[in-house]
Amino acid sequence: MLTTEQIESFHENGFLAVDRLLDYEEDLVPVIEEYQQLLDELCAQWVADGRLDQSYSDLPFEKRLVEVYRAGCDYYQAFDIALPNGNIKADTPIHLGPAVFNLLRSPRLLSAVESLIGGEIYSNPIQHVRIKPPSRIVDRSDAHNALVSATHWHQDNGVALPEADETKMLTCWVAVSEATPENGCLQVAPKSHREGIALHCTIDNQIGIPDKLMVQEQARPVPLNPGGVLFFHPMCKHGSLDNNSDAFRWSFDLRYNPIGQATGRPHFPGFVAQSRLNPESVLADYRQWGQLWLDARARLADIEGIKSNRWTDDDPLCA
């Protein structure tokens, strides 16, 4: 559980960084190994499809990803743990493995979450994995892809539907690799959670706050070691820096809210991660979790105009 001082700091500043909250061997190594196996499977399929000349199985994980990316293979959606907000197809890839499911239900993580939102915890489906390559190798077509490049300033309530405005949503940004200002760690605007919802516009295919509405001097980078977690309020303004290093930066964006409150993405499935009042309601089988997402994919395939936020770009400041 978080300390009283940590909880007070979260409510005062709108964010809280807890370094090495997760155990590297128990919480992260299984996830890393699962993604290594997933890359094995993807490379084999891409070779069979003629998209890769070879599987690069002799290379370490990161160097292999470089070759895969340079060959034009989209690893980032295949690695992601949520569907995209639009253009969903019956075969849109999504990763739904047991190690990721266990990370979502990590007792260390949920204990800290309980300190901030209570013991009735729902896993919110607005979630992603971001394994971002060095900016120097990012293809021009991906220059503004939030799964690959920097994310614009935004608020999590700003990228959800208004139904979640009263939800006690908590974002948990989990560092799998070291996160530094050089390789694109998150940056936050302290105390910005008190300023209300800001205008968001479509900026380079992302939903974000126009630069003219941000006071850049507010920006505070938050470096973390592997296993560190940055918790922040849904109204806290945040974004990420460019990855100007020579290595990938790996993180998970996980969100939770009290059971029964709106998630902001009703078309995507969440699940009960912890319940003190009704333990039998907790979802403990990763296969059931995965099926929820597969059912959602089948239901949403080829549907146009799925609404995932409140903005229309009509404001003059969006021009």
Contact between residue 193 and residue 233 where contact means Cβ atoms under 8 Å apart: yes
Query: Alpha-carbon distance 246 to 134, whole Å?
Result: 6
Contact between residue 68 and residue 46 where contact means Cβ atoms under 8 Å apart: yes
Find tokens 């939030």 and name the residue. Answer: 146
Q: Is residue 73 part of a domain?
A: no
Q: Is residue 169 part of a domain?
A: yes
Q: Is residue 309 part of a domain?
A: no
Q: How many domains does the chain have?
A: 1
Average confidence score pLDDT of the chain: 96
Contact between residue 226 and residue 175 where contact means Cβ atoms under 8 Å apart: yes
Q: Is residue 313 part of a domain?
A: no
Full 3-state SS string of the chain: CCCHHHHHHHHHHCEEEECCCCCHHHHHHHHHHHHHHHHHHHHHHHHHCCCCCCCCCCCCHHHHHHHHHHCCCCHHHHHCCCCCCCCCCCCCCCCCCHHHHHHHCCHHHHHHHHHHHCCCEEEEEEEEEEEECCHHHCCHHHCCCCCCCCCCCECHHHHCCHHHCCCCCEEEEEECCCECCCCCCEEECCCHHHCCCCCCEEECCEEECCHHHCCHHHCEECCECCCCEEEECCCCCEEECCCCCCCCEEEEEEEEEECCCCCCCCCCCCEEEECCCCHHHCCCCHHHHHHHHHHHHHHHCCCCCCCCCCCCCCCHHHC
CB-based contacts of 81: which residues, under 8 Å, 6+ apart?
A: 94, 95, 96, 100, 127, 128, 129, 252
Query: Alpha-carbon distance 31 to 33, whole Å?
Result: 5
How long a stretch of residues is the chain? 319
Q: Is residue 156 part of a domain?
A: yes
Burial (0-12, 13-18, 19+ Cβ within 10 Å), 223: middle
pLDDT tens digits, 59-84:
999 999 999 999 999 899 999 999 99
Q: Is residue 161 part of a domain?
A: yes
CB-based contacts of 58: which residues, under 8 Å, 6+ apart?
A: none
Q: Which domain holds residue 264?
A: 10-24+98-301
pLDDT for the residue 215 = 85
Q: Which residues of the chain have pLDDT under 70?
A: none
pLDDT for the residue 143 = 84
pLDDT for the residue 216 = 82
pLDDT for the residue 217 = 84
Q: Is residue 126 part of a domain?
A: yes
Q: Is residue 254 part of a domain?
A: yes
Nearest one of 209, 138, 220 to 186, comparing CA atoms: 220
Nearest one of 255, 155, 236 to 192, comparing CA atoms: 236
Supply angle C-alpha 234, 23, 66, rounded to 5: 75
- CATH code, 140: 2.60.120.620
pLDDT for the residue 218 = 86
pLDDT for the residue 188 = 98
